[in-house]
Amino acid sequence: MLNLRFLRFTTLALAIGLLLAALGCSNTAKPTTMTAANAQFKIGDAPADSVLSLVVTLTRVDLMQQGGGTVTVLDSPKKIELTHLAGTVESFGAANVPPGTYQSAKVSISTVDVTYIPPNSTTPVEKTFTLNTTVTVMFSPAVTIGKEPSVLSFDFNAAQSLTFDSAGNVTGINPVITVSVQVVSGEQEDDEEHGEIEDMAGTISAVTPASGTMAASFDLTPESGSSAQAFTVDANTKFEDGISQFADLKTGMLVEVDALTQTDGSLLATKVELMEASEGMEADGLVTATSGAPVTSVTLLVQHESGNMTKDMVGATLTVDVSNAVFKSPLSNSNFSRLLRNLPFTPKFDNTTVAVGQRVQVNAPVASQMQSSFSASQVKLQKQALSGTVGAAPMGSNTSFSLLLDADSAFVKLTGVSSVNVYQGPGTQEMSPVAPGTKLRVRGLLFFDGTNYQLVAARVAKPD
């Protein structure tokens, strides 16, 4: 999935160690939100099709420098859900990591939680593997971090990491991670691996007006326990859904941000969308069940959360009342506009077309107090990935093909659907040729018309 130009490793300790340098370092690696950082950290996933959720809990990570010295990058538990990152990478933060050469890491892992659908079943099962172990890993070659802005992208290959018995049940995990490093030059393509940020949700923790030569900026805390990140704005920044200008931003607002990494390491917001005006909360996840016609409630397996949460819900199941919610799909987003040209169907997402197998985001005001059940004020369709085999050659003015899904796919077990039609547009990033019999992973927006699933592709690539 990732362009491994500079560096590739296949150890969990290295990937997690570098990743969490962005999440709360001590000593001289303390993250900053007011100055540009020299390192931005992202993570992605190559999923096992039968797995719905994979949550890793870390308790401590230390980086060891050549010539002595230790940098603690995590000293409290941190949960990271990985399966929702299939076919992409997502930012976890930025940090001014002390320039130097790092030769090893000590990683403490407590638990790994896996939710999957067993063979001959449609009911998700959660299994927890308790490790409580610390591993010392030598880096070969050593890792050098400089002052120039870099993006470190981590691809967790769940398909290679999980072990199964002969019946298809998950029996263990031996994580495999690949890592790529890209330097932000200002001349590269704008994509997630080169510093683009898309749909980062979080709570505004500070707003700083422009002063002298300093641009206006705001700090965003993306999720509970993570460090805030600073975003600057300019005349081209778009403000949407209840906010129209920088002056409308207030601390406590729950917003969603698109951004680009600049050559000095700073983050420039290209879009700021209001989700909740005051102390709101949001959860992203996979719809595993619906109730009512039109739909009045959905069951959601939580994969990510932000905002004023009352408790950690990652990996848990929510029952969400959507009877009074506003339904949205990001069709007006400029990132999707080129994908939607000449489609042979009209994309629709509302309480008549929300369906099992779709990935959605649910929002609520603070009064709802998100817990095992709550009422949503908004439901928004999110991008997701499906893997399978191309079953028909591209055809038509808007290139399309059928994607035949593997029989053990969780999507197949949840929906009973074994294939989806995939539609490409001028804006689709095609990283692999499309030909009958080719194995592909397609990431985009999945629509349901009451009978058929139709996926509008943002990226087409070979599975890792």
Encode pLDDT of 21-30 as tens digits: 433 344 444 4
pLDDT of residue 453: 93
**Per-residue pLDDT at 52 exceeds 60:** yes
Of 213, 246, 276, the one marking the end of a domain is: 276
Q: Which of 139-153, 257-271, 328-342, 391-405 has the lowest mean pLDDT?
A: 328-342
pLDDT of residue 12: 37
pLDDT of residue 101: 80
**Per-residue pLDDT at 462 exceeds 70:** yes
pLDDT of residue 46: 63
Q: Look at residue 285 and tell me if it is in a domain.
A: no
**Per-residue pLDDT at 375 exceeds 80:** yes
Q: Look at residue 396 and tell me if it is in a domain.
A: yes
pLDDT of residue 32: 38
Do 28 and 134 sit in the same domain of this protein?
yes
Of 193, 224, 241, the one marking the end of a domain is: 193
Q: Look at residue 251 and tell me if it is in a domain.
A: yes
User: Tokens in use for 142?
Assistant: 């050593």
pLDDT of residue 299: 92
Do 158 and 69 sit in the same domain of this protein?
yes
Do 402 and 452 sit in the same domain of this protein?
yes
Q: Which domain holds residue 444?
A: 384-461
Q: What is the mean pLDDT of residues 36-53?
A: 67
**Per-residue pLDDT at 351 exceeds 60:** yes
Do 17 and 90 sit in the same domain of this protein?
yes
Q: How many domains are contained in the chain?
A: 3
Do 137 and 209 sit in the same domain of this protein?
no
Q: Look at residue 61 and tell me if it is in a domain.
A: yes
pLDDT band at 240 (very low <50, low <70, confident <90, very high): confident
More confident residue, 45 or 450: 450
Q: What is the mean pLDDT of residues 207-233?
A: 84
**Per-residue pLDDT at 18 exceeds 60:** no
Do 215 and 130 sit in the same domain of this protein?
no
**C-alpha torsion angle, residues 362, 363, 368, 371 (rounded to 10):** 40
pLDDT band at 208 (very low <50, low <70, confident <90, very high): very high
Do 50 and 134 sit in the same domain of this protein?
yes
Q: Look at residue 187 and tell me if it is in a domain.
A: yes
**Per-residue pLDDT at 294 exceeds 70:** yes
Q: Look at residue 82 and tell me if it is in a domain.
A: yes
| Mean per-residue pLDDT of the chain | 76
Of 160, 193, 226, the one marking the end of a domain is: 193
Q: What is the CATH number of the domain that holds 390?
A: 2.40.50.140
pLDDT band at 94 (very low <50, low <70, confident <90, very high): low
Do 188 and 200 sit in the same domain of this protein?
no
- Kindly give the pairing relationship between strand 317-321 and strand 281-291: unpaired
Do 120 and 23 sit in the same domain of this protein?
yes
Q: Is 56 exposed, middle or buried (0-12, 13-18, 19+ CB in 10 A)?
A: buried
Q: Look at residue 343 and tell me if it is in a domain.
A: no
Percent over 90 (pLDDT), the chain: 19
* Nearest residue to 329 (alpha-carbon basis) of 357, 348, 302, 355: 348
pLDDT tens sequence across 53-90: 888 887 777 777 888 887 777 677 777 787 777 767 67
Q: Look at residue 303 and tell me if it is in a domain.
A: no
Do 120 and 224 sit in the same domain of this protein?
no
pLDDT of residue 209: 94
Contact present, 265 and 184 (Cβ < 8 Å):
yes
Do 100 and 165 sit in the same domain of this protein?
yes
Q: What is the mean pLDDT of residues 301-307?
A: 79
Percent over 70 (pLDDT), the chain: 72
**Per-residue pLDDT at 34 exceeds 50:** no
**Per-residue pLDDT at 1 exceeds 50:** no
Do 28 and 100 sit in the same domain of this protein?
yes
Q: What is the mean pLDDT of residues 326-343?
A: 67
pLDDT of residue 31: 39
pLDDT tens sequence across 101-132: 877 777 777 888 888 888 777 778 888 988 78
Q: What is the mean pLDDT of residues 232-239?
A: 93
More confident residue, 95 or 175: 175
Q: What is the mean pLDDT of residues 422-450?
A: 85
**Per-residue pLDDT at 7 exceeds 60:** no
pLDDT of residue 196: 79
